Structure 1
């Protein structure tokens, strides 16, 4: 029995067991309240904003017929417990980064980011036009979820370090926070990789529990206060070149909604994907200038470190190729990314280079 058959069979059994305990969404005078749990601490810059945007859009577009009540990480369940909360019916939907759930299936990484993967635009191309949404739906269906992209951070920074990285050997023994498959790649370089919820990262870095961390980019990182702890900041990373965020609704709950309300959720998520990406990109430039003015040293990893990232990342991908779902998704992503990248490089890439040259 292959992985797909095993997971499908398991999910059917799990769904049957959970059916008797599924908590029905709250009703009041013909209106319905859906509970959204999140992987984000309340107020975390950009990411919690995305969850709030989706919730508000659903409420507004249905004239309050659907109201989404947000529970931040820790308010109903922990940040990394939202997947189980929604599949079991304890909550109706979650907003989060799907790569937190690679333990459920490694293919979930593709809907946030994989090392040396897609930029934000390439992710959107694949998701909306090259089969990504359909694959997300198939994967979610195994676990009783209906999933959509619902936010994007854009390219994420390489992270904050207590000392400079001069060679790949400097990762050996380094205690570093990085989720997803990027974290698994760092582990191959000898790092002690930590998966810590966003709201807890500042304390872990300031206490010395970790030696470094990636989070998102200049704006969100500045809001988190990492510049108060260290001044060494690598501005380009291999692990999240365009990180998507997702909403997943319990599939029984989703299918109990009217077609109009189902479409509202889909559209609210798609609108948030673009809105959130623009939010991050519009904020990051000014935030980077403030960080640099405050003494933060911005650096890039040496080429040999990038080479080590690439080798380790390839090993991580190869280890998952025995899973038919992962292999199908990887091949779909790579085909779409190659086609998108070639045109973007020859058009926008060439234009940006010439614009910088002409305008100085």
Structure 2
């Protein structure tokens, strides 16, 4: 699949917003319209959005039919949340990073710089009170949210020039998003948030100097390796990146209990499939970027990681001291779970990865 084919959907605009009116009912079947942040069929999130739509239809035995509209086909990607909140669309597929202007509390449900991995965050959501907070925060905007998967640790990004010190971020025009964007902003970067379909053109033209989107599986089809070969890791700005759907609260409340349970199960079932698909495909895609396209994976210098981590800590402290009670509650809950998890994860998962890296004969 080539980059031109992927981004063509982002430029489409012939469908009028009026087509996303009240959901249709046909012989007892509910017709929902989903808007997304992604070019149609973009490997990773674009494909995942269609899987979610299909899974809802399957588990409800066709009683709910979800029709997908890719970014720009009806509303611009950044407008997806507002379209659903207003009832113009029935649900969206996206990531929390795009909505943090509404409340920084939203960002914690997607990722936080130097925060939890996907598995830690899901443990918090399911067993640490995160889901109740998630529902409460989004409910203030008339949206019912569900996690539908995670792309795993992001990559740090594609840079025209090599990174040698934290000073290299001063004046750097960097495409990024979410709470990690605030971390880079404090390092001196000029943060630009662009939808996926616009990143290549901006990097190629020099409108931006660097960009991070997701990871190898979804970055490769965007063609960013055609502009620069410097691909940096680790993506500490997003150690996880949750994907979600948000359903208009009126549409959600109108569902009978059995359909609510079915939609909830559809999201839970597809979340594991999508998360593991990323885990399976990122390594393959990275190998191809290196072997076929001459990409050079580069590690972010240690002193840069320390400086950025200190900024992330400052941001967290500010949210934990926020005068907004909702932001403070979410930040406290997230931080306490992350800090409690940290030591154990280093002795369990972290230690096993370190042991596997030893010079042993295996396989």
Structure 2 portions without partners, runs of 5+: 1-19
Match of 1:126 in 2: 124
Map of 2:262 onto structure 1:
264
Look up the match of 1:95: 93
Cα distance change on mapping 1:79 and 1:335 into 2, 3 Å: same
Give how far 1:113 is off: 0.8
Q: Deviations over 1:18-41 (max 9, x none)?
A: xxxx94311111111011111112
Give, in angstroms, the shift of residue 222 of structure 1: 1.1
Over aligned residues, Cα RMSD in angstroms? 1.4
> 2:60, 2:263 within 8 Å by CA — same for their partners in 1?
no
Q: What aligned pairs does 1:6-25 form with structure 2 within 5 A after superposition?
A: 23-25=21-23
Cα shift at 1:224: 1.2
Equivalents in 1 of 2:225, 2:256: separation in Å? 48
**Are residues 68 and 304 of structure 1, via their aligned partners in 2, closer, same or farther at CA, if it must alter by over 3 Å?**
same
- Give the aligned partner of residue 338 of structure 2: 337
Aligned length: 339
User: Distance in 1 between the 2:326 and 2:250 partners?
Assistant: 23
For residue 32 of structure 2, give the secondary structure of its aligned residue in structure 1: strand
Give CA deviations for 1:171-222 in whole Å, capped at 9, x if unaligned.
0011000111111111111111100011111111111110010011111111
Task: Give the equivalent residue in structure 1 for 2:295.
Answer: 296
2: CA distance, partners of 1:359 / 1:38: 46
- What does 1:41-190 align with in structure 2 at a 5 Å threshold? 41-190=39-188
Within 1, Cα distance between the matches of 2:261 and 2:341? 28
1:347 counterpart residue number: 348
Residue deviations 1:232-265, cap 9 Å, x none? 0102121110110111101111010011111111
In 2, the alpha carbon distance for the partners of 1:221 and 1:67 equals 30
Question: What is the SS of the residue equivalent to 2:61?
Answer: coil
**Is 1:193 the equivalent of 2:191?**
yes
CA–CA separation in structure 2 for the residues paired with 1:272 and 1:208: 38
**1:177/1:77 Cα in 2 relative to 1: closer, same or farther (>3 Å)?**
same
Distance (whole Å) between structure 2 residues aligned to residue 314 and residue 340 of structure 1: 17
| Deviation (angstroms), 1:343 | 2.3
Contact 1:86–1:92 under 8 Å retained in 2 = yes
Say if 1:111 and 1:245, in contact at 8 Å, map to a contact too: no
Per-residue CA deviation, residues 136-169 of structure 1 (Å, 9 max, x unaligned), is: 0001111111111112000000000001000000
Q: Deviations over 1:30-65 (max 9, x none)?
A: 111011111112122111122111110110111111
Who is 1:316 aligned against? 315
- Cα separation, 2, equivalents of 1:281 and 1:359: 24
3-state SS in 2 of match to 1:176 = strand
8 A Cα contact 1:125 1:336, kept in partner: no
Q: Give the TM-score of the pair, scaled to structure 2.
A: 0.90
The question of whether the paired residues in 2 share the 8 Å contact of 1:38 and 1:82 is answered with yes
Aligned to 1:325: 326
| Bigger mean CA deviation after superposition, 349-358 or 107-116 | 349-358
CA contact (8 A) 1:44 1:199 kept: no
> Is the contact between residue 36 and residue 71 of structure 1 (CA under 8 Å) also seen in structure 2?
yes
Whole-Å separation in 1 of the counterparts to 2:247 and 2:193: 24
Provide the C-alpha distance between the structure 1 equivalents of 2:160 and 2:101, rounded to a whole number of angstroms.
29
Are the equivalent residues in 1 in contact too, given 2:59–2:263 (CA < 8 A)?
A: no
SS at 2:40 equivalent: coil
